[in-house]
């Protein structure tokens, strides 16, 4: 085979745009979970009950990921509108994202503060762990409206292919969070309360930054509420919400099962799962490129380009996941020690680490496919396939608990979930039924 032909197989005409979009998305996505990772590293050295409490709080707050339709739906709709030449509609979608985010965030903040105690009890935490978790959640409620505002804001800015602004705002928020946590936890000796306040205040500042960035871009004359456009975002988002709710429910169920195994397994799960989320969001950078490129190409009536770019993004995401797997296996002993020195916690980390590491290439394929189908607006299929995968995962995790398989059985259920999603999304991709063009779809 000639050298030029070999290079053509390695390279792709879509690589330049994928990298241009994915790199700043990578920075922003990688920075997002650092809020919880910083919390984990700081709180982990306060003691086992505090770290377990943070695990409970993270499980509860993770449920709010169901509202990422504010982000994903807005990105796909904005990119499709621009591809179809509807620039005015695209700008007004940014304002709708702000209104929806603020409204939902305010309601969730009130509910979280009022129901923190029964929710923590439902998760299964007791004693000091439960008390610390309730304290953390009630303080964290302050930052919830701004956290959702950041979701909607990122969705719009990604849709118009501005990934630099979200990167700068998210990095600034993380720097503020790290500084505030050190000051509050160690300087003022506030303990776990300091960790919660640091995150809540940093999120508030970041949310204000996103609101300013969008209003500056679209202008005050386009900032009004447009019910028809808001309903469109919601109508598309409801399927993404169902898909995300099923995914979050699966992870929450695993968290609840692990919480019933004791503090050591729960602390180990907190370490492994937060690292899993960190790597998942890094892999999701290519999926973000998929949402933008696929939405734009389908809006512009170029389905073949959408398919070819998508195939390339899947290959790149799998390769990235393979690199992560190799690094995690090499650091199987050192990495958990950065979060805890407790021998019981480290033993539980060792039990789950091979599953955690080896699933990364599968994650890469699934996240890329997810982003592609979200960009195409293929919400009904995404929702139905995720509901099916959740049902199997739920049966597996509950069965593993009854069988006494411990944390390894719980993580085996997560691997099963990812494998099922890969099969279902892969079949949909190959059949090409998601290649629907135009704005009116």
Lowest-confidence pick of 13-17, 35-39, 99-103, 133-137: 35-39
Please name the residue ranges forming H helices in 63-191: 69-83, 87-123, 127-140, 144-159, 164-181
Percent pLDDT > 70 in the chain is: 96
Q: At 1, is the pLDDT very low, low, confident or very high (cuts 50, 70, 90)?
A: very low
pTM of the prediction?
A: 0.77
Per the prediction, the chain carries an average pLDDT of 87
> Does position 6 have pLDDT exceeding 70, yes or no?
no
Close Cβ partners of 59 (under 8 Å, ≥ 6 residues apart): 123, 251, 252, 255, 256, 259
Q: How far is CA 190 from CA 136, 186, 200, 369, 434, in A?
A: 12, 7, 14, 43, 51
> Does position 438 have pLDDT exceeding 60, yes or no?
yes
Close Cβ partners of 348 (under 8 Å, ≥ 6 residues apart): 264, 265, 267, 268, 269, 407
- C-alpha–C-alpha distance, residues 61 and 273, integer Å: 14
pLDDT at position 427, please? 95
- C-alpha–C-alpha distance, residues 410 and 393, integer Å: 9
- C-alpha–C-alpha distance, residues 134 and 136, integer Å: 5
Q: Which DSSP string do the residues of 183-237 spell out, in sequence order?
A: IIIIIS--THHHHHHHHHHHHHHHHHHHHHHHHHHH-GGG-S--HHHHHHHHHHH
pLDDT digits (tens, 9 = 90+) for 84-95: 888 888 899 888
In the numeric block, the tokens 């049902």 are attached to 391
Q: How far is CA 313 from CA 12, 101, 269, 363, in A?
A: 10, 29, 30, 13
Compute the average pLDDT of residues 342-352.
Answer: 88
Compute the average pLDDT of residues 311-317.
Answer: 92
pLDDT at position 8, please? 40
Q: Is 2 exposed, middle or buried (0-12, 13-18, 19+ CB in 10 A)?
A: exposed
pLDDT at position 33, please? 65
- C-alpha–C-alpha distance, residues 148 and 329, integer Å: 35
Q: How far is CA 28 from CA 31, 172, 288, in A?
A: 5, 10, 11
pLDDT at position 3, please? 45
Compute the average pLDDT of residues 341-347.
Answer: 86
In the numeric block, the tokens 């004693």 are attached to 127
H/E element holding 279?
helix 263-299
Compute the average pLDDT of residues 298-302.
Answer: 91
> Does position 387 have pLDDT exceeding 90, yes or no?
yes
Q: Report the interhelical angle of 263-299 vs 144-159 (nearest 10°).
A: 30
Copy the structure tokens of residue 256: 């609840």
* Phi, psi (degrees; rounded to nearest 5) at 11: -100, 170
> Does position 9 have pLDDT exceeding 80, yes or no?
no
């Amino acid at each position: 085979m000639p050298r030029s032909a070999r290079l053509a197989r390695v390279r792709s005409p879509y690589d330049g745009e994928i990298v241009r979009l994915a790199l700043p998305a990578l920075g922003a996505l990688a920075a997002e979970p650092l809020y919880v990772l910083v919390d984990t590293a700081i709180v982990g050295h306060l003691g086992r009950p505090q770290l377990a409490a943070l695990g409970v709080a993270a499980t509860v707050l993770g449920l709010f990921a169901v509202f990422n339709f504010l982000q994903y739906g807005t990105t796909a709709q904005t990119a499709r509108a621009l591809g179809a030449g509807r620039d005015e509609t695209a700008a007004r979608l940014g304002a709708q994202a702000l209104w929806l985010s603020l409204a939902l965030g305010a309601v969730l903040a009130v509910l979280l503060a009022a129901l923190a105690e029964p929710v923590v009890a439902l998760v299964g935490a007791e004693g000091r762990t439960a008390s610390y978790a309730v304290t953390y959640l009630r303080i964290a409620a302050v930052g919830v409206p701004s956290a959702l505002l950041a979701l909607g804001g990122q969705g719009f800015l990604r849709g118009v292919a501005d990934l630099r602004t979200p990167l700068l705002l998210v990095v600034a928020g993380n720097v503020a969070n790290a500084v505030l946590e050190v000051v509050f936890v160690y300087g003022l000796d506030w303990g776990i309360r300091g960790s919660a306040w640091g995150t809540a205040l940093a999120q508030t500042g970041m949310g204000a930054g996103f609101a300013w960035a969008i209003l500056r871009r679209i202008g005050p004359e386009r900032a009004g509420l447009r019910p028809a456009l808001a309903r469109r975002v919601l109508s598309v988002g409801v399927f993404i919400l169902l898909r995300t709710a099923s995914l979050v429910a699966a992870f929450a169920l695993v968290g609840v099962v692990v919480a019933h195994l004791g503090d050591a397994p729960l602390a180990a799960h907190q370490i492994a799962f937060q690292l899993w989320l960190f790597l998942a969001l890094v892999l999701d950078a290519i999926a973000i490129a998929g949402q933008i490129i696929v939405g734009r190409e389908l809006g512009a009536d170029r389905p073949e380009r959408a398919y070819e770019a998508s195939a390339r993004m899947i290959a790149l995401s799998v390769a990235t996941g393979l690199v992560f797997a190799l690094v995690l296996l090499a650091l199987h002993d050192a990495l958990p020690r950065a979060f805890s020195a407790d021998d019981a916690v480290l033993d539980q980390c060792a039990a789950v680490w091979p599953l955690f590491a080896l699933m990364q290439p599968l994650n890469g394929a699934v996240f890329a496919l997810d982003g592609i189908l979200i960009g195409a607006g293929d919400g009904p299929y995404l929702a139905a396939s995720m509901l099916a995968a959740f049902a199997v995962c739920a049966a597996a995790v509950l069965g593993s608990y009854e069988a006494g398989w411990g944390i390894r059985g719980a993580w085996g259920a997560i691997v099963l979930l990812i494998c099922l999603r890969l099969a279902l999304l892969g079949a949909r991709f190959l059949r090409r039924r998601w290649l629907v063009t135009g704005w009116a779809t």
